[in-house]
Amino acid sequence: SASKPLAGRRAVVTSGPTHEPIDPVRYIANRSSGKQGHAVAAALAALGADVTLVSGPVTLADPMGVRVVRVETAAEMLAASQGALPADIAVCAAAVADWRVAAAAGDKVKKGPDGPPTLTLAENPDILATLAQAGPARPRLVVGFAAETRDVLAYAAAKLAKKGCDWIVANDVATGTGTFGGDDNQVHLLRRGAAPEAPLIETWPRLSKTEVAARLAQAIADTL
Ligand code: C5P
């Protein structure tokens, strides 16, 4: 219907940071609040989509009308995202840790005479690139985010090509923009054009994260 253009569509949305354990009491994390990803999940649901929100550790309330799967690590986020397939739409808004500790300790690491421990890191799976891989389970529309502190459009266009997704929502998170943890966002929507290195670019005004999410959900509905 006109007010529920995504009725009958399934969506998977990733949101928030991941926590990568060092030992049972310590972890590596980042400053993502999950506000933008949670708002996208709510906006897709408001347009009638059947939404699975795969959320890292956040302090936000669960959005209404959305199935929420809570995870901690990137590996768990990937498994939960793939478990939510098949889907028509995937939106990867999570700030996935790029690295995990290669061999997390089973017991708390103790201070000792040998000095501080050395952490060996291993690369985490790229959830967006994995979901965007061609194949029968690929969602029709795969959307990623790109947070950059400079050359936002150039890096975002490169990311669109490299990750294999259809759209990138690019934002400037340079110090002073207040984007991280804030309520507003100023974004550019890049859509894959005829040539991957020449995307179609729309620049949106500074909006609340809720309004960015509503516009994105409407753009998705207009495309499917
Ligand atoms: O490469 P970069 O982290 O800058 O790309 C950001 C985009 O890729 C976001 O959409 C983010 O959710 C996604 N991503 C992911 N898994 C990773 C790293 C990034 O899904 N391991």
Q: What string of DSSP letters covers 178-200?
A: --TTSSEE-EEEEE--SSTTS-E
For a mutational test of ligand 1's pocket, the pick from 91, 92, 141, 169, i.e. the residue with the most ligand atoms closer than 8 A to its C-beta, is 92
Closest-CA residue, ligand 1 atom 2, reads 146
Query: From ligand 1's centre to the CA of 94, what distance in Å?
Result: 7
b/e 196-207 (16+ beta carbons within 10 angstroms → b) = eeebeeeebeeb
Please report where in the chains the tokens 């960015």 appear, as a residue.
212
Say if CB 84 and CB 41 are below 8 A apart: no
What ipTM does this complex have? 0.98
pLDDT band at 196 (very low <50, low <70, confident <90, very high): low
> Is residue 165 helix, strand or coil?
coil
pLDDT tens digit sequence for 56-109: 999 999 999 999 999 999 999 999 999 999 999 999 999 999 999 999 999 999
CA distance 222 to 219: 5
Q: Annotated catalytic, 171?
A: no
Query: From ligand 1's centre to the CA of 197, what distance in Å?
Result: 19
Q: Is 111 labelled a binding residue? A: no
Say if CB 41 and CB 50 are below 8 A apart: no
pLDDT at 210 over 70: yes
pLDDT tens digit sequence for 126-185: 999 999 999 999 999 999 999 888 999 999 999 999 999 999 999 988 766 667 667 888
> Is residue 147 helix, strand or coil?
strand
Say if CB 195 and CB 113 are below 8 A apart: no
Would you tell me how many other CB atoms lie within 10 Å of the CB of residue 16?
29
Please tell me whether the overall predicted TM-score, pTM, comes out greater than 0.90 for this model.
yes
Terminal Cα-to-Cα distance of the chain (whole angstroms): 14
